[in-house]
Structure 1
């Protein structure tokens, strides 16, 4: 089983270009749940996704690179949804997966697994379930991280890879 250092090494190995991309500054400056930024949330989802794959011995069933990249990009919508605007943030929970996929496609090369995982990570709020195991894992990790961050935001600090 991987320890936290091994998990962070995997996230860095497959996501370094994403984590260092200039657009990630928007995620660093935008709150996601409680006091947790979108950047911290994305890292937490990526780390938990790898941990789930590890604990369930899914190494021969998942594309690890795609899993990490989908987790890091699942909320790549590039705005603070808490800020008042002209209504474009309305129904954020239903719409942001499509915005995140469009933004990710503009900045990175996406395979089908990553693209589908981003688009379906809010299932069942979005009507189509994930097509790939990686998307199911990202969906579960995102839900667990969001619950943890919302219920105990003052105690949560994402481990930075």
Structure 2
């Protein structure tokens, strides 16, 4: 990644998510590769913390943003190989994540919207809240940061070794 984020030292952020982070349901995300170079827990924390910082700076609902961002990909399958009859992964996984999150904790309307709309652009329903838009955009940014940047670095290194 371009820059390692240090969410652990932000006590205000940790206070918003520590109950979720302590659950097996969230910790299990570490067992799933997300963008080739990260696991789903790392990705979810990246999205959650970066979104939280933006929401906080804009005086929005930073708590809902942090929690919704952490739970946005709360699903347990390899999206590269698992396919569904009811729609694409972009459509299906937010609904699965929402169902799993609702089993874990009570969610506000904003947190639900963040989870279900985080794939906006790949899906047609627009976010209802600014916090949802932030998580959607940050999710895309993190996907690029977690996959493309390391891929370019590896390719560059391989080219240097061949020279």
For residues 68 and 7 of structure 1, the distance between their equivalents in structure 2, rounded to whole angstroms, comes to 15
Structure 1 equivalent of residue 55 of structure 2: 53
Tell which deviates more after alignment, 130-139 or 3-12: 3-12
Q: Which runs of 5+ in 2 are unaligned?
A: 154-163
After superposition, the CA RMSD in angstroms is 2.3
- Name 1:11's counterpart in structure 2: 13
Q: Given the alignment, which residue of 15, 35, 49 partners 2:37?
A: 35
Distance 1:140-1:24 versus aligned 2 partners, 3 A rule:
same
CA–CA separation in structure 2 for the residues paired with 1:106 and 1:50: 23
Unaligned runs of 5+ in 1: 156-161
4+ aligned runs moved over 4 Å, structure 1: 3-7
More helix by share: 2
What is the number of residues matched between the two proteins?
147
Aligned counterpart, 2:24: 22
Q: Determine which structure has more spread, i.e. the larger CA radius of gyration.
A: 2
Is 1:129 equivalent to 2:122 in the alignment?
no
Q: Distance in 1 between matches of 2:141 and 2:95?
A: 21
Correspondence 1:79 to 2:77: yes
By relative contact order (CA 8 Å, sep 6+), the higher-ranking structure is 1
Asked whether the 8 Å contact 1:34–1:153 carries over to 2, the reply is no
- Residue 79 to residue 6, structure 1, CA distance change in 2 (3 Å): closer
With the length of structure 2 as denominator, give the TM-score of the two structures.
Answer: 0.80
Name the residue aligned to 1:149.
146
Match of 1:106 in 2: 103
With normalisation by structure 1, the TM-score equals 0.81
* Mapped partners of 1:50, 1:25: distance in 2: 20
1:97 aligns with 2:94: yes
